[in-house]
Structure 1
Amino acid sequence: MIGTLLFLAEAHAEVESGFGLKLDILESNLINLAILIGLLFYYGSKVVGNILDQRKTKIAQRIQEVEQQQQQAAATLAEEQQKLAQAQATAKNIIREAEANGQKAKEAILARGQQEVERLKATAAQDLQTEQERAIAELRQRVAALAIKRAESQLREMLNEEAQQKLIDRSISQLGGSR
C-alpha cells in the first residue's frame, strides 16, 4: 500500500514539473500527516478493534467468573448460616435435655437420699428397740438372779434344816411323787 502511495506521489510530481520535491513544509507535512492518519485509521482500527474486542471478551469472562464466584459464595454463606442455625438449635436442644436430665437425676438422688435417710432412721429405731429389749432382758435376768439370791439367802435365814426338808417334800408330792 505504501508503495502505491509513493508511486502516486511520483506520478503527480512528474505531471506538474517533472521531478522534484515540494519545499513547502506545511503543505507536504499536512498531506503526509493525513496519509499517515488515514493509514493508521484504516489498518489500526482493525488491530485496535480486535485488541479491544479480545480485552472486552476477557473482561466479560472475568466479570462472569466473579459473579459466579459471588453467587457460589452467597450460596455457601447461606448454607453455612443454615448449618449454624441448625447447630445452635441442636446445642439448645442438648442443653435443654441436659438440664432436664440433670433435674431428673437431682430428683432421683434426692429421692434415694430420702429413702436412705428413712431406712437409716428405721434401722436405727429397730437397733435402738433391739438394744432396749436386750438391755431390759438383761436387767430382768439380773433382777431375777438378784431376787433369787436374795430369796435364797432369806430362805436360808428363815428356814432351818427341818423346814427345808418339809418344803422339799411338799414340792415333790405336788409334782407327783412321794417320799
Structure 2
Amino acid sequence: MNIFTFIATTGDFGINTDLFETNILNLSVVIGILVYYGKIAFTDIIRNRRENVIKNLQELENKVRESEEILSLAKANLETAKSKSESIRQQGNDLCIQTSESILSAVEDDIKRLKNSHILTIKIEEKKLLNQICQQLRSDAFKKSIELLKKRFNSKFHKKLVSKNIEKLSKKNLRIN
C-alpha cells in the first residue's frame, strides 16, 4: 500500500481552509518576530562582518605600505651596496695598477742594480786577472833575465864588467883631485 493512500484514508492529510485551525496567524506572528529580530541579528552580523572586512583591509593597506617602505629601503640598500661594490672594485683595480707599477719599478731598479753590480764584478775580475797576468809577466821576465844573466854572467864577463867599473871610478877620482 502506498503511503499517500494511507494518509488520505486516515483523514489527517488534506487542505484545511479554516484560518484559525491552520495557525496562519501564529505562523505570520512567528515569521514577523523572526523577521524583526532576524533583521537586527543579521544587521549586527553584517555590521560586524563589515567592520572586520574594513579592519582587515586597513591592516592589509598598512602591511602593503610597510612592505613598500621595506622594498624601497631594500632598493636603496641595494643601490648603496652596488655603489660600494663598484667603489671597492675600482679601488682594487687602482691598487692592482699601483702595485704592479711599483713592482715593475722595483724590478727595473733591481735589474739596473744587478747590471751595475755585474759590471762592477766584471771590472774587479778584470783587474784581478790583469794583475795576475802582470805578476805572471813580471815573474816570467824576472826568470828570463836571471837565466840570461846566468848565461852571460860567466867569469870572462865578470872580469870585463869589473874592469869597466874600475876605470869609471878611477876617472871620477882623477877629476875630483
Q: Normalising TM by the smaller chain, what interval?
A: 0.7 to 0.9
Please name the residue that 2:17 is paired with.
Answer: 24
**89, 94, 100: which one aligns with 1:95:** 89
Corresponding pairs, count: 148
Distance apart, 1:36 and its partner CA: 2.8
Q: Structure 1 length normalisation: TM-score? A: 0.74
If asked which structure has higher relative contact order (CA below 8 Å, sep 6+), I would say 1
Q: Structure 2 length normalisation: TM-score? A: 0.75
Q: 1:156 to 1:46 in 2, by over 3 A?
A: same
Q: Deviations over 1:81-111 (max 9, x none)?
A: 1101101110110011001100100010011
* 2: CA distance, partners of 1:165 / 1:25: 195
Q: Percent identity?
A: 21
Please name the residue that 2:37 is paired with.
Answer: 43
Structure 2 regions of 5+ residues with no counterpart?
A: 1-15, 170-177
Secondary structure of 1:63's aligned partner: helix
Q: 1:26 to 1:90 in 2, by over 3 A?
A: farther
Amino acid at match of 2:44: N
Q: 1:64 to 1:25 in 2, by over 3 A?
A: farther
Secondary structure of 1:24's aligned partner: coil
2:70 maps to 1:76: yes
**61, 69, 78: which one aligns with 2:55:** 61
* 1: CA distance, partners of 2:108 / 2:42: 96
Amino acid at match of 2:55: Q
Distance apart, 1:59 and its partner CA: 1.4
Q: 1:152 to 1:94 in 2, by over 3 A?
A: same
Q: Which moved more, 1:32-41 or 1:151-160?
A: 32-41
Q: 1:153 to 1:31 in 2, by over 3 A?
A: same
Amino acid at match of 1:81: K
Structure 1 regions of 5+ residues with no counterpart?
A: 1-22, 174-179
